[in-house]
Structure 1
Amino acid sequence: MTTFLQIITNGLMLGGLFAIVAIGLTLIFGIVKVVNFAHGEFLMVGMFLTWMITTRMGLHPFASVILVVPAMFVLGALTQRLLIQPLMGAEDDHVQIFATVGLSTALMNLALLTYGADIANTPTFGLRAPIELGPVRILTGQLYIFLAAIALVIALQLFLKNSQTGRAIRAVAQHRVAAELMGVNVPRIYILSFGLGAACVGLAAVLIAPLYPTSSNIGTYFVLTAFVVVVLGGLGSIPGAFFGAMVIGIVDSAAGYYIGSGLREAVVFGLFLVILILRPSGLFGKRMTLSHLS
């Protein structure tokens, strides 16, 4: 029984990690309707910024959130304004996707040019210390990530439901043309939304950096699962991304223990394909998307 509880706990902690990476991705898609294939490289940039601030200033990694999150917001806003926005009128929507793929490649090679292929290790400041919670054990940093994922979902939901800007964002997500006719500045909402999505992944980078080594390809490790989480939870659904991440985290943890670590990804993507065939809109795609918030 203790082993089973530990597997579930590990899965929930892993799900929190996947969720905090996926929330920014689903936020961007739910509003701008663009699949950002540079999302993993945004995470990589944020992790390198966290490493630089922590090692050169001697600060706790979490203190770098003051600089990393605004910097990532600016990066996301500039990406939307300078790269995506000029392509919004293109006849083929795939052009925008190819643009983000190009940005992904450019950022990855820029990181290689700047930092080389070496791995950067952010000081942990005790975030790898284990915590005993009854019969189970988790890392301090994992608990912070899980709690931060919950707080982020709640904060975004409150922002989208209760603020004037949030209502404008929901209007654009529901029907861009109608929102524009009602006086909403759609291009500005797109820039803001892309910036918020990048800021979310900046928060994820700050929390993840002390637990994982940073390298130029670290984003690929997380973003593939993040795409699975986003589709599983329903494209554009913030709560769906969270609960989808919990499902994937538990499945990943259980598969690693009962089947073998080498087959974990096969099981996760196999489950993803089954759910995609049975419910193409995802587990929460009909009920919990940004456009259906009330």
Structure 2
Amino acid sequence: MELLIQTLVAGTLLGGVYALVSVGLNLLFGVVRVINFAHGEFVMIGMYITFWLWAGLGMDPYVSLLVVAPAMFLLGVLFQRGIIQPIQSTSANMKIFATVGISIIVQNLALYLWGGRHRSVSTEYSTSVLTVGGINISVGRLVAFIGALVMVAALFYVMNRTMTGKVLRAIAEDGPTAVLLGVPVKKFYFVATGISVMLAGVAGVLLMPFTSASPTFGMHMTLIAFIVVVIGGMGSMVGSLVGGVLLGAIETLAGTYISPSLQQAVLFALFIVVVLVRPQGLFGKGAGTEEVGLK
């Protein structure tokens, strides 16, 4: 029983980061209508920036958030301007091909620049644990979970309580009508993509104290994010949060009680079951929903 609780705690804490990554992916799809297969690569970029700030300047990973967050937002704006905007009016397949191409380019560029060696940071809290009721809790995972919840809560506030958020919701609900009402939709596409990429980069920062960066790490995170989005419901922020925590717990349980080599197989089995039984996801209104779910 103690091992079960220990495993569930570790998986749940990791799931918070999965949720943060998935919320950004959901936001981009809901507002800009782009399924970004390069989303995990932005997590990987955030991890590498954090590593080099630590290795080169001795900057604490959490302090590097002050650099990584604005840098990733700017990268998101450039991504929207240089890659997405030129193909905005094309078919969904074209957008998928474009983002898959970006994913491959970024992976190979990282491999060329930094090699295939895994890189990690080493701080006083990297291996620190808290013991609560006989259960050991990784400090890095705990901080990552809390940080992810804070970021998701901040996004939820922005989407519900600010004019920018209301405009983004309006575009997500009915983009053509928003255009007719004079909303500068293209400008808000930059905002949505910037926030989406920034959230991915922040997730990368939160992962670094207990995870190593590698050129192929982004592929893993992209797969995780898509599974979370499908399980939680396309367009649902609440679904991404619940789905991320659930997936983190299931992944850790599978690695502990079945086999680490079968973790992804278990996740994809769950993915298939959800698609067959409830294709709209746990919190989706209906199959194919495109609502940016804030309900």
TM-score tier after normalising by the smaller chain length? over 0.9
Moved more, 11-20 or 64-73: 11-20
Determine the structure 2 residue equivalent to 1:127: 126
Relative to 1, partners in 2 of residues 1:32 and 1:256: Cα closer, same or farther, differing over 3 Å?
same
Q: How far 1:290 moved relative to its partner?
A: 4.6
The structure-2 alpha-carbon separation of the partners of 1:254 and 1:57, relative to structure 1 and needing over 3 Å to count, comes to same
Matched with 2:197 is: 198
The TM-score, its normalising length taken from structure 1, stands at 0.94
Q: Measure, in 2, the Cα distance between the counterparts of 1:270 and 1:221.
A: 16
Report the Cα offset of residue 258 of structure 1: 2.5
2:217 matched residue in structure 1 = 218
Work out whether residues 73 and 197 of structure 2, in 8 Å CA contact, stay in contact via their aligned partners in 1: yes
| One-letter identity of the residue aligned with 2:146 | L
Q: 1:55: Cα distance to partner? A: 1.2
Could you tell me whether the CA contact under 8 Å between 1:23 and 1:242 is conserved in 2? yes
User: Which segments of 5 or more consecutive residues in structure 2 lack a partner in the other structure?
Assistant: none
How far apart, CA to CA, are the structure 2 residues paired with 1:162 and 1:191?
A: 20
Q: Give the 5 Å matches for 1:1-294.
A: 1-90=1-90, 92-286=91-285, 290-291=291-292, 293=294
Per the alignment, do residues 289 and 145 of structure 1 end up closer, same or farther by CA in structure 2, a change over 3 Å counting? farther
Identity of aligned residues (%): 39
The alpha-carbon deviation at position 293 of structure 1 amounts to 3.5
TM-score normalised by length of structure 2: 0.94
For 1:121 and 1:15, locate their aligned partners in 2 and report how far apart those are by CA, in whole Å: 20
Shift of 1:207: 0.9
Contact in 2 for aligned 1:237/1:290 (Cα 8 Å): yes
Aligned partner of residue 69 in structure 2, secondary structure: helix
Provide, for residues 103-151 of structure 1, a one-character-per-residue CA deviation record: whole Å limited to 9, x for no partner: 1111112212211222222233313211112121111010011111211
Q: Quote how far apart the aligned CAs of 1:268 are.
A: 1.6
CA RMSD of aligned residues (A): 1.7
Quickly say closer, same or farther: Cα 1:213–1:271, change in 2 above 3 A: same
Provide the rounded CA distance (Å) in 1 between the counterparts of 2:141 and 2:84: 34
Distance 1:291 1:49, change over 3 A: closer
Q: Which amino acid aligns with 2:274?
A: I
The CA distance in 2 between the partners of 1:121 and 1:148, in whole Å, is 19
CA contact (8 A) 1:170 1:293 kept: no
Residues 20 and 125 of structure 1: CA distance in aligned 2, closer, same or farther (over 3 Å)? farther
